[in-house]
Amino acid sequence: MIDALTGVLVIPAVAAGLLAALPGYRLTARLNVLATLLTFLIAVSLFAVEPKSGPYLLVDDLNKVFIVLTTFVGFTTSVFSASYISHEIESGRLTPTFVRFYHAMYQTLMFAMNLALVANNIGLMWVAIEMATLTTVLMVGIYRTHEALEAAWKYFILGSVGIALALFGTILVYMAARPVIGEGLEAMVWTVLVTKAAKFDPALLNVAFVFLLLGYGTKVGLAPLHAWLPDAHAEGPTPISAVLSGLLLNVALYALLRFKMLLALNPVAIAPGPLMVTMGLISCVFAAFMLYRRRDIKRMFAYSSIEHMGIIVFAFGMGGTLANFAGLLHMTMHSLTKSAIFFAVGHIAQVKGTQKIADMGGLTVTNPVLGWGLVLGVIAIAGLPPLGIFMSEFLVVSSTFAREPWLVIILVFGILVGLGGLFLRLNTIAFGEPRGPTAPAEASYVPMFAHFAIVFVAGIYLPPALVTGFQNVARLLG
Amino acid sequence: MRGLSFDVAHLLAGSLVLVSFMQLYQDRLYALLNIYALHALVLAASVAWQAFIQDAPHLYLTALIALVFKAIVIPTALHRIIVRLGIHREIETVVGVGPAMLLGMGLVALSMVVMLRVTAEADPLAREDLAFALAVVLLGLLMMVTRRNAVSQVVGFMSLENGLVLAATGAKGMPLVVEISVAFSVLIAFIVIGIFLFRIRERFDTVDVQALDRFRGERR
């Protein structure tokens, strides 16, 4: 019997096999879209019928949000990817063999991310995140240029060290759980761990969390462990940049949040909050300053991702229902906005034939839809009203200001610095003298504007059902 | 029996740390690979011993993977790659041997202090195993940061991973150990294939990672 929970795993797995076998990029691109759409629909059905959690898979309010977000952005990205890939084939940057490989890897990545989200076992979750890392490494290096290979290698080594540290942390959590729960599978199952966490050895849990924070924090892209992120974003195919920023960072964050919940249940263990707040603030301010000297458009938005992950980790680190709610909302808005920006950037880079900011200019004149799309995206990501990110950033700031005014001042400083950096570059790209090729783009604008529409509506009106849902999750996070 | 089984486990885990130190001062790739094979051999013995005293037959599989894959297949493959690439000359270290050894000792001391203090209530075998495992992990990390050569960085990562397997097998009754060691072997195979397929030398004329820095995305 296949329920929705296994459905989100089976469909990508089957599709990966199918896409690896089928020739012809037009057909496979469509199949890719179809598979991600099906996965998304099944993920949505989790809200209607909640399947039972077993010893390996689980579903609760927290991961439902993540699964639906992941599958939705996965779906829209596959729509964008179809038009992006056909351009890459026409321009000869990718051969049909590579595209076949690319599609199979895309579905494998979706499978690995869904598995990480539904895993009820800390070991299984680790394996899934490792798998997601490997597939993205392969996709980052797909153009096989100097830069792409270097980026893939760097990502590979740093990502491997990160997941190795995370495994050490996972083993320590098992060691802490074993005296209480007993040997065997039970001592790695989330639902069991959570009920018994109060009795775990706090000292072991503390050390475990430090390793987990460093390990999964590398994958979240927290400074100073972020070095792989800009390269991987800049050199891979743009749909992968969108999935990396919009989804994979979230999945690593999800792992971190699960362990944070575990620690919060133990009264004697250290509060994980301050560690996360510190790393979040450092990432935010550091990345904001790094935005100024970017010459490559994709690297710039990669640094912006680090900044926003910093803000999100800060919000979750502060904790409390309100801050968690704000963090969750910010994460959703960031995923939608950032992937939409990468959709625009992908087509812009194809039109201009380069990613260098200096070679682009006057986009709003030459390619009005793309140009204004990018302007809209930057307005959204910089956190200007009335869009969704303004609202979530406002919530982060207002929910934490009363508690830690000094920290929030640093955060707001980081956000403002970042805003300046983004607009400085946007000015060159979107306005002024047109530079570079001005051919009209053969682009699919639907995914991009669909995301913007959601972000725009969310800035003005949040449906009550969504608010209650997020509030439940925020309470769950503690 | 209790005394002997403890002593042997202790001896094997301790030797693993020692072999990690031996890796630190190897300045030739051939020698480094041989020492890595020794590292994997000691790991295999250690895991097999754990399988025996814990009465956990599935751990023999992990030991077998360590023996066949890590001690024989990978070093042989890397040997061939090195010969093909013609880089069996000296390897540069960023830090000299002396400072690297001193740093290594500091790291071992650190892992002892941290792990022995936090695991005061755990059973002594698991406790010391964990302390040794952390030492091996940290020494592997040290190796990765003190080397510039891609191949020796990979060797550093592999010895780091051996430390993780040691920790996982030392944690009595931990499930999924075999699966995790398989997943890691896949990862390592990917890395080794990566070195070969990416043909770093062909693209960059060197496997010196510093040369890769020239191709940083922004300096064009």
Query: What pLDDT was estimated at residue A72?
Result: 95
How large is the ipTM? 0.86
Q: How far apart are CA A75 and CA A32, in angstroms?
A: 9
Task: Measure in Å the smallest separation between the Cα of B187 and chain A Cα atoms.
Answer: 8
The verdict on a CB contact (< 8 Å) between A178 and B157 is no
285-344 in chain A: CB under 8 A from chain B: 294-296, 299
Q: Is A268 helix (H, G, I), strand (E, B) or coil?
A: coil
The answer for residues whose C-beta is within 8 angstroms of residue A388's C-beta and 6 or more apart is A329, A333, A336, A337, A380, A454, A455, A456, A457, A458, A459
Please identify among residues 79-138 of chain A the ones whose CB lies closer than 8 Å to any CB of chain B.
121, 123-124, 126-127, 130-131, 134, 137
Separation in Å, CA of A436 to nearest CA in chain B: 17
Alpha-carbon gap, residue A101 to A151, rounded angstroms: 19
Burial class (CB in 10 A: 0-12, 13-18, 19+), A435: middle
The chain A residue lying nearest B162, using CA atoms, is: A164
A256-301 per-position pLDDT tens digit: 999 999 998 888 888 888 999 999 999 999 999 999 888 899 999 9
* Per-residue pLDDT at A435 exceeds 50: yes
Whether the pLDDT of residue B195 is over 80: the answer is no
The verdict on A231 touching B (C-beta cutoff 8 Å) is: yes
Which residue from B115, B187, B204 is facing A134, i.e. has the nearest CB? B187
Q: What is the dihedral of CA B113, B118, B123, B124, to 10 degrees?
A: 10
The answer to whether the Cβ–Cβ distance between A203 and B119 falls below 8 Å is: yes
* DSSP code per residue over B156-169: HHHHHHHHHHHHHH
Nearest to A167 among B164, B190, B204 (CB): B164
Tell me the range of A22-26, A418-422, B54-58 where mean pLDDT is highest. Answer: A418-422
Beta-carbon separation of A152 and B198 below 8 A: yes
Q: What is the dihedral of CA B63, B66, B72, B73, to 10 degrees?
A: 130
* Mean predicted confidence (pLDDT) in A19-24: 85
Distance CA A212, CA B134 (A): 14
B216 pLDDT higher than 60:
no
- Residue-wise pLDDT for B26-73, tens only, equals 878 888 899 999 999 999 999 999 899 888 888 898 899 889 988 998
Structure-token match 């002892």, residue found: B112
- Tell whether A179 is within 8 A of chain B (Cβ): yes
A320: left (phi over 0), alpha (psi -120 to 50) or beta: left
A25 contacts A82 by C-beta, under 8 angstroms: no
Q: Average of pLDDT values for B105-125?
A: 83
Q: What residue spans define the domains of chain B?
A: 2-215
Residue A420's CB is within 10 A of a number of other CB atoms, namely 12
Q: Which of B133, B179, B194 sits opposite A156 (nearest CB)?
A: B194
Q: Per mean pLDDT, which range of A188-197, A395-404, A432-441 is the poorest?
A: A432-441
Q: CA nearest B119 in A: which residue?
A: A204
pLDDT at A198 over 70: yes
What 3-state DSSP class applies to A98? Answer: helix
A167 to chain B: which residues are within 8 Å by CB?
164, 168, 180
Angle between helices A202-220 and A273-290 (to 10 degrees): 20
H, E, C per residue of B107-126: HHHHHHHHHHHHCCCCCHHH
Backbone angles phi, psi at A323, to 5 degrees: -65, -40
Report angle CA A450, A240, A388 to the nearest 5 degrees: 35
Residue closest to A360 by CA, chosen among A372, A369, A371, A373: A371
Q: What is the mean pLDDT of chain A?
A: 89
Exposure on the CB side of residue A382, measured as CA atoms within 13 A: 21
Identify all chain A residues contacting B126, using CB atoms and an 8 Å cutoff. 175
Interval A392-413: pLDDT, tens: 999 999 988 888 899 999 999 9
Residues from chain A contacting residue B134 (CB–CB below 8 Å): 168
- Region A90-98: mean pLDDT is 84
- Chain B interface, best mutation among A115, A168, A199, A218, by max B CB count within 10 A: A168
Mean pLDDT of B131-140: 92
pLDDT band at A436 (very low <50, low <70, confident <90, very high): confident
Chain A residue with the nearest C-alpha to that of B191: A156
Rg (CA), chain B: 18
CA pair distance B154, B23, nearest whole angstrom: 12
Cβ of B134 and A171 within 8 Å?
no
